Structure 1
Amino acid sequence: MSMAGNLRKVTHLGKVGHLRRVARLARRRPRVDLSHPSRSPLGSSVVNCVTYRDGVRGPAGGDLVDAVKRVRRNGDGFVWLGLHEPTDQEFAGIAELFDLHPLAVEDAVEAHQRPKLERYGETLFAVFKTVCYVEHEELTSTSEVVNTGEIMVFTGEDFVITVRHGRHGSLGPLREELESDRQQLAKGPAAVLHAVADHVVDDYLQVTDAVQADIDQVEMDVFAENGARADPGRIYQLKRELLELKRAVVPLGRPVEELATRPIRVVSPEIQTYFRDVLDHLMRARDQIAAFDELLNSILQAHLAQVTVAQNEDMRKITAWAAVIAVPTMVCGVYGMNFDHMPELHWTFGYPLVLGVISIACLALHRGFRRNGWL
């Protein structure tokens, strides 16, 4: 066979393979009417809606239905839909278009979910807790240190939907960073899922570093010369904020481990390699939080011990001065009983003698208490 014939045969086989792939993907996807663009479910909660093919951003314009039609017509690429705090009405059309499970839709709309990873047929649903360090000039017993939010990610074969809750955790810079790495973005929706997880976990590490600075400052104040006068409310506040951070980090360990180790249809083994790095960073953040918790417990115990020692010192001083004052009180009390027959009562030098005895006794007691560290 000639070279031209071989080329025609290869081209024909490539077209057949492409058509078979398109048919296979069409069978897996829900049958949704995409013929009416006016039925697009987009609302005010939509931050961005972009199509990608081979790691390249598709043309702008149109709506979500048009974007899905283009992707499914070509048989490759995917749609990335970004939402911020959507309502039930706004998310209803999106859920119907992508055949999302009602339970996952309910979690995505209502938020306040625990970090988790769930599979609903061909769709993967992941929940991430986002954290943000709240800047403050001085840590007080009412200072907010950690602010939390949520990012939910629906991942399918040709779409990824990110739902963000909270005032922070914007994915705009992440999208730009991914678009600059065409090779990574060409790996499909799972690459976006990895990028979101990596972004969230990196924020964990940044927040733990910032919290460490607050803990170091509290530790310095407690072990300062007047550490017993430090405000224990700051320590309790740090422990409460650390607990909020712990609730975001610790439950995420198992979902990320599943993404890194267990076979999942929409996550290729190549992307799982990247999730192992995310898991490593997550474990580092978790270990730091555990160490901070133990350190705060130690600081609190040290502060309570300092307060106890300071109280004991105050009690010793009070006791010593009470003993010194007891001597003149006793002598003056004896001579104040007004009896006729008392020692040295009518002696000319009796009064100076009694004052001298009182002074010598008080000085002796004061010197003894000073020598023993009570005064």
Structure 2
Amino acid sequence: MNRRVLIAAALGAAAVMFAGLIIVPVLLGASRFMFGGGVAGGNCVTVAGAEAQPAAATDAKAIPSNYLQLYKTAGERFGIPWNVLAGIGKVETSHGTSNLPGVKSGENYAGAGGPMQFLQPTWDAFAVDGNKDGKKDRYDPVDAIPSAAAYLKHNGAPRRMRTAIFQYNHSWDYVNLVLDWAKRYVGGDFKVVQANGIECEDNELPANASALVQRIISFAMAQRGKPYVFGANGPDAWDCSSIIQAAYRTVGLNIPRTTFQQWPFGVKIAKGKEQPGDLVFFNSGPGTSSNSPGHVGMVIGKGKMIVASCSTCVPAIGVKPYKRSDWVGTTRPLARPDLKKKVNELAAE
């Protein structure tokens, strides 16, 4: 490579880096407009009815009766519209009637088997014993169909149905084909829910909280839709502990910056006694343990928290359940004597 080429390459690389320095802040700054955060929920998605089971239409008569009943039973059990399960069953194996390899025995070229076409590792992870006979047979629709429902549920259905179907088979053409059949089976009047960000049902502030706590939660809720960036301190991106520190700071209260510092800061509260504004901690992330949790969220009530989850989570910052297996404990910063004193001082000003 001659010197002229080297110089040109260096200038090109510099230009790319400079463009990146400009583009990244612009994108981060634009996030508040792109995602429409805020407690009012400008771009929220209504998830009510996501688990509804629509009535079967004429085209559903072409589904074998035993499969149709299994789709409906699994749909009710897992909260997945039965016609989506039927759409998958149709596209995969025409409800088990296909004579291709891997439907009734063995595996196809991709290693999938059974009427709902499970790969063995996926089956091992999500298989359901549908008829309670002590066996999980991926070639038996009694087991395979509820297992498909469980797998969709794991991947976000019914509130993120298109995403869940895509995880079933990584092709958007596949997703569209499944949903085309799902519509046909209920007469065409059917639309799935795809809540990638703010759910309208989560917009209300807790009525039983004080005005101070409502202000704290309101700030955190207004950050929904923004990206998670580890180490970020806002205003365009946050991590799990910085968003909480900033929320308390908006009412004039100072708490530590990191999760490891926030855990011993507040007064420990027994599980089941948590209130809006309390902090919930999780044994999640590198270098963490039950005595040193590495992830934190803020209780808003009804078993839910506002939390900055991770950079690849959808949403990265949003309202999610906190009653999960890695929940370590709860603290109440506002129960500390020094914060109680500060609250009284602020009220007197």
Could you say which TM-score interval applies, normalised by the shorter chain? Answer: under 0.3
Q: TM-score, with normalisation over the residues of structure 2?
A: 0.27
Question: Is the radius of gyration larger for structure 1 or structure 2?
Answer: 1
Taking structure 1 as the reference length, the TM-score comes to 0.25
Greater relative contact order (Cα < 8 A, sep 6+): 2
Larger fraction in helix? 1
